[in-house]
Structure 1
């Protein structure tokens, strides 16, 4: 597969004319926000609706590399749940998501109840640590709707599930932050958390900082989007949690927001006027989720001084349309397919399956901002 096909696919997706930062700003602002909500409902709706009915395993396809089907079925459903909630949780927390708050709580209940046909075996394979962490980050981003309002039985089962992922040891990479985030979520839910994974994750990432907002994924530089997919957003959440006060946490808490802001500036400049961006590294099929960090900093209202919120709104909208708007992105039943702009199955690594693809929703974090925030109202 020639990765440059993305440009062609994106051009088709943008034929209606979404020039980066121009037509977006000229449209009625409520129209742009509603456009985002429509994309979220189209993408997240099938996952949460099926889970609320306890039918996800029955209806969600498992697209993956040939030969990986058995292992992916152990984690793909947790991936779909965790990555979906990680992306839409600020919108759910805002109180503006209508039915989606209750759907999210019912989806969590379906995944942690051992009697449910959609029960998710936390800790069964290494990948479940990753997506327990995405689910945990979603919980941290919605303390009222996805923590305080969870039924107590569901909360206790969720704590147990998160704790079961401790059997999977994180390697010396961004995975250390997954283990730390799981502990942060356990603490937030009222469970017994462990200090060692948090201390190790923070100490190693202090050591792995390379400069200019960039961390190594481990001790070495990697030309990919993992500073955005994982490292900055997860580290910020851990450092803001009570668990982040251990070890070098207080020191990192002083400097990490500045580093994240710098990397957000780099990310904003990566998005071209037509919504395309440099296709480098792995996990290309996460589509516009490559801008998780830029979306997070917009939500936090901590964008670089020279980057206007409306500028980011235009950039993210164009990136969403370039990737999610391409023909073939969804199958005939509304499930995401592997690819960057449309259905491009050869872009999926062995660890990629249908559930993985819902990381694209992390680009929608600014829906947690009120409709009258500068991000939405400024031209």
Structure 2
């Protein structure tokens, strides 16, 4: 498992990625038109994206060790800058427009130019410099979407300010104030209004605010301390083998998940030892390399391990995965930096139970698999109501992915508590209303028409015990799904009474056990519905809602490599569910009008939460 990759290895990987895209460069290197599905922005924008995102990787490669900067790499991107900003060139860049992808790519170009300024921008012909400044200057006054996009404008305009170009100081300050309103504490930002918690907090909100201070010379203290706090929890979103948590959008950026780790080191804002940062990052780089990213052509495809379009968003084109360049930020730290020279420490690879109140998550690790129990992030702003399988599920993990093919999205079985109404319509967990969070406990509710589903999750050894209080019409059917596991080969399914399990590969097991209220245990088998593998399976429970409006259902869910585990024995009295957990503590959970949770240990351990 140890993957202590030296800086030379990262340089070689970066060079391989940059070499592999070169055959797809348009004449003049202004665009890199990679093979694959076009984004909704069109081929010219996709080609610009190919230039901008690989330019970021090249800039880290060049600026981190300028004495060994490959001249050919400098010349390639200098030529691209000259032709991309020439309106008369066949592959000139589209002008920056309101709400357009050009705003995103302009920020990548601005960062790359800032980091390589002595090597590149300052050596450009004055006419080319003027054209670059003119093209970037088109961003001033343009409308950006009210999310991490406002920081792209901040970065571009700050670069322009540094080279004597056009910029609007008030616009920079206004957008930084926007971001400040999205800060929710514990190092976490929501990506715009609502409950949008995902990797964008690290690879966008933290990265661009700190980079603005790097470019402007502003005091970075507040942003540094926020990042330090953030990394205290974020470091655990990776499994011991380097697999990142599979949650949120734009997951095709893959190694970009490493950006906050390197960022903490770059800004002296990390609670993680330098050698441990290197080791963690190396494990993630190896995790993807061992699973086909980059592929046999040396390219990063639209997907996770394998090419898989259903997990991507319409804004992602063939070059979008090259935001993975942010995961190579460590190359900015030169060869003599402690992150490359310090002895590798040991990451915290043991069992873990961690409450993260800001995003409304519990992190849970046993058997080398990290799971995320979600009671706070739904991917919605206040003005929309949609369900996204990358946000609205009850659970995610480092070794599974939600079912995102058409069948999986429609049925919505994995990690979802669903009420199938008498008319056959299934309810959906679109907007999550938080109930509470405490040590090893989180609870939320969702409302769909007249149906109200309240769910509490309690961590108990390898298990997540789910307590559901369901208010629904008589005759409804209730369904609770475990994790969907996937592999290149068909998954093995076992059904026994109120227990359903599915095994992917040789050792990864997903299991769900009915503890109260359920009638049958089943499993859904699918093909080409999952980013992890072509064959997937989801164990789930089905129960009939009894007469009356409210009923309690209890299930136990686990995902891991421990093949046998005994679920707890529970007692249900009205709305209260209780049991003795694997450590011998007395656990009580109550939902409804007065929700409460307590865990009372025999040796003084005491957790009490009341809503």
Q: Which has the higher contact order (CA 8 A, sep 6+)?
A: 1
1:286 maps to which of 243, 253, 256: 253
Task: Tell me which residue corresponds to 2:213.
Answer: 239
Structure 1 stretch displaced more, 187-196 or 164-173: 164-173
Structure 1 stretch displaced more, 258-267 or 173-182: 258-267
**Matched-pair contact (CA < 8 Å) for 1:339–1:348:** yes
Structure 1 stretch displaced more, 356-365 or 161-170: 161-170
Task: Tell me which residue corresponds to 2:317.
Answer: 353
1:228-377 equivalence runs, <5 A: 228-242=202-216, 253-304=220-271, 307-327=272-292, 329-330=294-295, 332=297, 334-377=298-341
1:205-216 equivalence runs, <5 A: 205-216=179-190
Gaps of 5+ in 1: 1-18, 25-30
Q: Does 1:87 align with 2:57?
A: yes
Aligned residue for 2:313, secondary structure, equals: coil
**Matched-pair contact (CA < 8 Å) for 1:123–1:166:** no
**TM norm structure 2:** 0.52
Alpha-carbon shift at residue 325 of structure 1 (Å): 4.1
Distance in 2 (alpha carbons) for counterparts of 1:119 and 1:331: 30
Alpha-carbon shift at residue 51 of structure 1 (Å): 4.4
Distance in 2 (alpha carbons) for counterparts of 1:265 and 1:84: 30
Q: Describe the shift of the 1:23–1:218 C-alpha distance in structure 2 as closer, same or farther (beyond 3 A).
A: closer
Distance in 1 (alpha carbons) for counterparts of 2:115 and 2:309: 32
Distance in 2 (alpha carbons) for counterparts of 1:378 and 1:82: 32
Q: Deviations along 1:95-154, whole A, 9 cap, x unmatched?
A: 133232333322322322223333111315611101111111222223322332233222
Q: Does 1:117 align with 2:90?
A: yes
1:139-150 equivalence runs, <5 A: 139-150=113-124
Alpha-carbon shift at residue 62 of structure 1 (Å): 4.2
Task: Tell me which residue corresponds to 1:221.
Answer: 195
Distance in 1 (alpha carbons) for counterparts of 2:285 and 2:129: 33
Q: Deviations along 1:327-348, whole A, 9 cap, x unmatched?
A: 264364x432101112122221
Aligned residue for 1:210, secondary structure, equals: strand
Q: Describe the shift of the 1:130–1:324 C-alpha distance in structure 2 as closer, same or farther (beyond 3 A).
A: farther
Structure 1 stretch displaced more, 271-280 or 97-106: 97-106
User: Hey, which of these two has a bigger chunk of strand by percent?
Assistant: 2
Aligned residue for 1:230, secondary structure, equals: helix
Distance in 2 (alpha carbons) for counterparts of 1:134 and 1:354: 17
Q: Describe the shift of the 1:45–1:197 C-alpha distance in structure 2 as closer, same or farther (beyond 3 A).
A: farther
**Matched-pair contact (CA < 8 Å) for 1:130–1:175:** yes
**Matched-pair contact (CA < 8 Å) for 2:56–2:109:** yes
1:40-59 equivalence runs, <5 A: 40-47=14-21, 51=25, 53-54=27-28
**Matched-pair contact (CA < 8 Å) for 2:242–2:280:** yes
Distance in 1 (alpha carbons) for counterparts of 2:262 and 2:256: 9
Task: Tell me which residue corresponds to 2:472.
Answer: none
Alpha-carbon shift at residue 324 of structure 1 (Å): 4.2
Alpha-carbon shift at residue 301 of structure 1 (Å): 4.2
Task: Tell me which residue corresponds to 2:69.
Answer: 97
Task: Tell me which residue corresponds to 1:172.
Answer: 146
Q: Describe the shift of the 1:258–1:118 C-alpha distance in structure 2 as closer, same or farther (beyond 3 A).
A: same
Alpha-carbon shift at residue 311 of structure 1 (Å): 0.7
Q: Describe the shift of the 1:313–1:237 C-alpha distance in structure 2 as closer, same or farther (beyond 3 A).
A: same
Task: Tell me which residue corresponds to 2:520.
Answer: none
**Matched-pair contact (CA < 8 Å) for 1:133–1:181:** yes
**TM norm structure 1:** 0.81
Across the aligned residues of Structure 1 and Structure 2, the Cα RMSD in angstroms comes to: 2.4
Alpha-carbon shift at residue 232 of structure 1 (Å): 0.9
**Matched-pair contact (CA < 8 Å) for 1:80–1:357:** no
**Matched-pair contact (CA < 8 Å) for 2:253–2:320:** yes
1:120-159 equivalence runs, <5 A: 120-124=93-97, 126-159=100-133
Alpha-carbon shift at residue 45 of structure 1 (Å): 2.5
User: Hey, which of these two has a bigger chunk of helix by percent?
Assistant: 1
Alpha-carbon shift at residue 313 of structure 1 (Å): 0.8
**Matched-pair contact (CA < 8 Å) for 1:76–1:355:** yes
**Matched-pair contact (CA < 8 Å) for 1:337–1:354:** yes
Q: Deviations along 1:355-377, whole A, 9 cap, x unmatched?
A: 21110011111112222221112
Alpha-carbon shift at residue 259 of structure 1 (Å): 0.7
**Matched-pair contact (CA < 8 Å) for 2:294–2:300:** yes
Number of residue pairs matched by the alignment: 339
Structure 1 stretch displaced more, 204-213 or 52-61: 52-61
Distance in 1 (alpha carbons) for counterparts of 2:266 and 2:235: 14
Q: Deviations along 1:20-43, whole A, 9 cap, x unmatched?
A: xx341xxxxxx6222211211121
